[in-house]
Amino acid sequence: MTVTGPSGAGDLLQLMRDGTPRTRAELIALTGLARSTVGARVDALLGVGLLTPSGEAASTGGRPAARFAFNPEARVVIGADLGATHALVALTDLSGRVIAEKAEAIDITQGPVVVLDWLVRTGRALMRSAGRRRSELVGVGIGLPGPVEHSTGRPASPPIMPGWDGYDVPAHVSAGLGGPVLVDNDVNIMALGEHASIYPDVEHLVFVKVATGIGAGIVSGGRLHRGAQGSAGDLGHVAAPHGGDVLCTCGNLGCLEAVASGPAIVKALRAQGIEATDSRGLIALAKAGDMAASSAIRQAGREIGEVLATCVSMLNPSVIVVGGILAQSAESLLAGVREIVYGRSLPLATGNLQIVAARTGDHAGVIGAATMVIQHVLSADQVEQYLVNTAS
């Protein structure tokens, strides 16, 4: 990577974030900046710990030059994945590496005060357990199981989150932990987490979560695509080709979520006299060899595939990652998705298309939430502002 034109300390840090140790002379050659300019910016970043000494370069005569590298352990981030019935909170470093974490069963319908107070307490406990001070926390990222206006961090008429509509989540959490606090829907942060951890070099990726609901996160040109108001990727409320007049939680009829989500499959099986308590019970049936359960899961995959085939034609991704409890445990869901997408889409779009199960498992959300914050606080402008604030 070569930086051209004026370059501040923030730009210099972007160059160093690939983890390659470099000398001042190498940075001068890469940026084209004067020795004094590079020296001042390296010193500023060393002063706040974002760069750290990393050995010496081979000597070509005289004293060996010191090397410097990005220091991801300089600060910490809290990432929280709040689901309908579960929550996972993690403390990470600036590379997204998990330092400490805590999972707990929690009901999102308890409302924002109860859930967010728990998040604040948990975040503080994780920092204490890791021996990190509050001043070392650079931000908090949160994923919620419903639509979120990303610019404000406020939930927007979330169907399964009574009492959360319009609630100022960032203000509540910032009061207890500090800021910035960034909020997005759970599928977007899972897409960020999977992309950052497993597919960092993939430019075009779609992440689909199949659980209590269905949603998608879209990575286009290497960046998360949120759309005008943050609602891009809301697959669950696209009309399913065979949705009929099934009522969805959003109030519309025939939504994909109403016929292919975990609760929808369970409901369909119960109508056939097959008892499945929830998504985990459904998976247990399929693993035990229940043909009706396996068939219902595969049909749900086909329904999802019908909608995804349109996405493939529109977005032309190179990877579709399917996550959520059903995708992690039921191969028949993926088989149904592949059957339709590969059969329905044009060969040019599917020739190199991978349709795979998520590999980050339960950690996609917290890694993605942390990544969302890291991308923000380590942007060139934010680093520059941070250095100004630290110096004043």
Same domain, 110 and 249: no
Q: What is the pLDDT of residue 160?
A: 85
Question: Closest Cα partner for 207 from 321, 329, 361?
Answer: 321
Q: What count of Cα atoms within 13 Å lies in the side-chain half-sphere of residue 284?
A: 8
User: pLDDT tens digits, residue range 11-24?
Assistant: 889 888 888 899 99
Does residue 175 fall inside a structural domain? yes
Domain encompassing residue 341 = 199-358
The whole-model pTM stands at 0.87
User: pLDDT tens digits, residue range 161-182?
Assistant: 999 999 999 999 999 999 899 9
Same domain, 177 and 258: no
Q: What is the pLDDT of residue 390?
A: 79
Distance, C-alpha 274 to centroid of its chain: 35
Q: DSSP secondary-structure letter at 74? A: G
Does residue 158 fall inside a structural domain? yes
User: pLDDT tens digits, residue range 145-163?
Assistant: 988 999 999 999 888 899 9
Please check whether residue 328 is in contact with residue 311, taking contact to mean a CB–CB distance below 8 angstroms. Answer: no
Give the type of residue at 97: R
Question: Closest Cα partner for 107 from 212, 247, 242?
Answer: 212
Q: What is the pLDDT of residue 60?
A: 52
Domain final position from 34, 55, 73: 73
Quick check: 1 pLDDT over 60? Answer: no
CATH code of residue 241: 3.30.420.40
Does residue 2 fall inside a structural domain? no
Same domain, 133 and 234: no
Which of 161-170, 278-287, 365-374 shows the lowest mean pLDDT across its residues? 278-287
Domain final position from 47, 73, 99: 73
Does residue 4 fall inside a structural domain? no
How many domains would you assign to the chain? 3
Same domain, 130 and 222: no
Which of 153-162, 180-189, 207-216, 278-287 shows the lowest mean pLDDT across its residues? 278-287
Same domain, 178 and 230: no
